[in-house]
Amino acid sequence: MSLLTGWFANANCSFSEWTVLLPKTEKVMITLFNSSFFSPNKALRRLALLFAIHESPQISQHAIGRLVRLSSSMVNNYIKMFKQEGLVNVLGDTNRTQSYHLTAEGGIALRNDLLFYSAEIVQMYGAVKRELSNILNGFYEEGIRTVVLFGAAETAEIVHAALKASDLVVIGVVDSDPKKQGAGFNGFKIKAPEMIENINPDAVIITSFAQQEEMFQSIQTYIRGKNIAIKKLSDISV
C-alpha cells in the first residue's frame, strides 16, 4: 500500500495507526521545483519540511534545506517553530547527533496538509484535462478520427485520460526511448516511432509540452510524406 493510499483510506485514524502503512524500504519526498507559476509559499514549505522529517528522522538541516530550497538557518527557524507548536521533538545535543521526530500533533498536521495539497493538485489536474479535451475535440472537428500518441511519459497519461472525453480513437503509442519500447501503456504496447507508418493513424499527437518542434521534425522522418497529420498540444485555435 502506498503512503498516499494509506492516508486517504485511513483519514480518520490516529497518527500512530497510519504511520505504519508506509513500508520501511519506501522513501518518498516532496521536492520543490522551479516554476514560473507556482512559487513555493510558506504552506508548501511547511508540508515539505514535515514530510522530510517523517521520512528521514536522521536527515540534516542542510539536507532538508536542499529539498525545500531554504537556507539551513531558515530550516532551523522552521524547526524551532515546529517545536513551539508541538509538532516536532528534537533528540540529540549536537547537529551531528540530532534527529527529528513528528509528534502525534505533527502527524495530524502533516496528514491534513497533504490532503489539502493533494486536493489542489487534483483540481489543477482536472483543469489541465479539460483544456486538453478542448484541444483534442478541435482535432476531431478537423476530420481526424484515429491517433497515435508520440511519447509515453507523464503528459501522455493526462492526454490519454482527456481522450476519453473526445471521439478520437487511440490506435497506438510510440516512444523513441528504447527502454520504453515493448512496455505497456494503458492497454497498448509501446512501439518504436518507425512503426507509425504501419499503424497508419490519421494523426500523431505529440504528448509533450517541451521540445515539440524537435519532435515534430523527428516524426516527419518516420511518416515519409504519408497523409498523416502531426498535431501538437500547442495547436490551440484562437
Domains of the chain by residue range: 3-124, 131-232
pLDDT at 68: 81
The three cell numbers of residue 198 are 504501419
Question: Quick check: 42 and 69 in contact, CB under 8 A?
Answer: no
Distance CA 114, CA 6 (A): 12
Q: Answer whether residue 36 shows pLDDT above 70.
A: no
Element of type H or E holding 102: strand 99-102
| Closest C-alpha to 159, from 236, 228, 238, 233 | 233
Distance CA 65, CA 218 (A): 40
pLDDT at 34: 56
User: For 73-109, how does the pLDDT look when each residue is reduced to its tens digit (9 = 90+)?
Assistant: 999 999 999 999 999 999 887 767 788 999 999 999 9
Name the CATH superfamily, with its identifier, for domain 131-232: NAD(P)-binding Rossmann-like Domain (3.40.50.720)
- In the predicted model, what is the mean pLDDT of the chain? 83
Architecture in CATH of 3-124: Orthogonal Bundle (1.10)
User: For 156-182, how does the pLDDT look when each residue is reduced to its tens digit (9 = 90+)?
Assistant: 999 999 999 899 999 999 999 999 999
